[in-house]
Amino acid sequence: MVAKKLRLSVLASGRGSNFLAIQQAIAEGRLDAVILQVISNKADAPALEKARALGIKAIAIDPKSYPDRVVYERQIVEYLQAEGTELVVLAGYMLLVGETLLQAYPNRVVNIHPALLPSFPGLHAQRQAVEYGAKYSGCTVHFVDGGMDTGPVICQTAVPVYSDDDEDTLSDRILEQEHILYARCIQWIAEGRVTVEGHRVTIEGEREVR
């Protein structure tokens, strides 16, 4: 029997390396999913170019051409629902997600953040970790709630921070792990292993799969 593929839409504002890593995991059979479309708030986002090159639908929606954030997100939800999206994957999406999208996809929006949350939320998480003098940082995949990087944590990977690191060297070390972790977390969701209760996430059989 062929397993049913989890239907993903990706929201991205920039480079799109996490999008590519997810697509690669699909191509290599590590992730039972399909990327239906990449949606960006930036028309010139390299992520859109990368999607087009792979023959994946790429959509730019400029928030400035909508009267407010609610109407902008309604448009996004329309695109998501039109393709039968089951999971919304934020991959470097630089806008805070609002109630309109979250109510349409409760506990069905995931994000990756380049730090071990709740440490170093927000922008420049890698720089924050270096400047703080943390000895470990890493990445976190989490469900999105109304806050800034505050939603229930699905999984994390730690990496060392060395005293001669700068923002760039630490970012590279973390990014390598982001590309592995994100696809794995989405696969657990595809397998129906992931449940959320309050702020806590349970992964069925986690001692085997983590």
Active site residues: 113
Check binding of 42 to ligand GRF (CB under 6 A).
no
Q: State whether residue 143 is helix, strand or coil.
A: strand
Binding mask 72-111 for ligand GRF (x = CB under 6 A): -------------------xx-------------------
Among 8, 10, 11, 16, binds ligand GRF (CB under 6 A): 16
Instruction: Tell the smallest beta-carbon distance from residue 129 to ligand GRF (Å).
Output: 12
In whole angstroms, what is the distance from residue 152 CA to residue 136 CA? Answer: 21
Classify residue 164 by burial, with Cβ atoms within 10 Å: 0-12, 13-18, 19+.
Answer: exposed
Nearest partner of 6 among 76, 91, 83, judged by Cα: 83
The residue (of 139 and 194) whose beta carbon lies closer to ligand GRF is 139
Residue 135 has, within 13 A of its CA and on its CB side, a CA count of 0
Check binding of 15 to ligand GRF (CB under 6 A).
yes
The residue (of 7 and 15) whose beta carbon lies closer to ligand GRF is 15
Among 9, 42, 89, 113, binds ligand GRF (CB under 6 A): 113
The residue (of 36 and 141) whose beta carbon lies closer to ligand GRF is 141
In whole angstroms, what is the distance from residue 72 CA to residue 117 CA? Answer: 28
Handedness of CA 28, 31, 34, 40 (dihedral sign): negative
Instruction: Give the interface with ligand GRF as residue ranges (CB under 6 A).
Output: 12, 14-18, 91-92, 112-114, 175, 178
